[in-house]
Amino acid sequence: MKNNSETFSFKRLWVLILLPIAFIIIWQAKTNPEFCETYSKNIYPILSGSLNYLFSMTEISIAQIILTVIAALLVFYTLTTILGLIFAGGRFKRILTYIVNIVCIFSMIVFFFSVTCGINYYRPSFAETEGIEVTGATTKELSELLSEIVLRINEAEENFDGNYRSFSENAEIAAESIAKLSEKYPSLSGEYGGPKPVSFFGFMSMSRITGFFFPFTYEANVNETIPKISIPSTMCHELAHLRGNMREDEANFIAFLSCMQSGDPEFIYSGLMLAYSHTASALNKYDPELCRQIIDGLSDDVKKDISEKNKYWAKYEGPVAEISDSVNDLYLKANDQKDGVKSYGRMVDLLISEFRNNGLEIPKAEEETVEEDIETNE
């Protein structure tokens, strides 16, 4: 039995070599920009495009199935190990085997994560790749941006009839919208399917997770239970990740741009909601009184939508959400986003840069047509 036990453990130990290989890959990505560029431009599009095409044949999230099965098996394995320790002999062997198996699984996950998308965390940023100049901003510029967003979000709410589409319909629009955006920003190009709905039986909302990109199947997954006004922008955010843009601040910015140029009232309203939350939060840190004065200009209907969204997330405040935030913070820092969850706030710098150079570029075709018709009738 002793020899069998040693052989059993030895057969699995070779998997542990994947962990240092993963660290070498990430170290190479950190120190060698050419390595990242070669991967992101030549290798990643083939990997992501091929597997995304394969798994896009079904609207069901394969990621949700895989993660659910893994979680169930892990719980089952842990429970059977504990029962074995209580009611059977060979405690040392059982504990050693359990630890070795868990570490081996962890090694495989880290390795495949590094190969499938981890390198992209160290590629040149979207702003650098597309030549977008991002600089600091004064409080005055920040307030001007928020004032413009408040003006536009009131207009967007009036143009939106409040009838939300189905998830599948919005998924098609999101895919088309970001594909259209790639005409202006070539780094977003590629043939990809739309996002998929997930919920994990309410656990995602409990963890305050609106969506996630699953690199092992190259699926963009969106929590279908979140407030409907947040779904379009979340879809575009996850599709930005799918295209290799792993930085959270830039994925938010890409989501905003995608929503704005879609020409769709629901997406425009959702994109402005995203921009509003980040910009108002930033200004509130530096000048709370000025921030309150500006957001007081929101229409009653917009304030109602914001209030309903806040009430939804308030239901899920608690230890699970706090643990999730801490895990997410560690995850971002581990992938070289040193500000952790604060990196989401840097979206505002990108918004200000866009506002300086192009305005907010929100379609006004309907409004102009109405004015022309009125003039003609007169």
pLDDT of residue 358: 76
What is the rounded CA–CA span in Å between residue 51 and residue 362? 34
Backbone angles phi, psi at 130, to 5 degrees: -95, 5
pLDDT of residue 345: 60
pLDDT of residue 21: 94
Give the largest Cα separation in the chain, rounded.
Answer: 97
> What digits encode the pLDDT tens for the residues 34-89?
899 899 999 999 999 999 999 999 999 999 999 999 999 999 999 998 888 888 77
What is the rounded CA–CA span in Å between residue 200 and residue 207? 11
Confirm if 268 and 241 have CB atoms less than 8 A apart.
no
Q: Is 344's pLDDT higher than 50?
A: no
For residue 48, the Cα-to-chain-centroid distance in whole angstroms is 16
Every domain of the chain and the residues it spans: 2-122, 126-377
Strand partners, 223: 198
Task: Choose between 165 and 371: higher pLDDT.
Answer: 165
3-state secondary structure of 196: strand
Mean pLDDT of the 348-371 span? 65
> What digits encode the pLDDT tens for the residues 277-306?
999 988 888 888 999 999 999 999 999 999
> What digits encode the pLDDT tens for the residues 302-319?
999 999 998 998 888 755
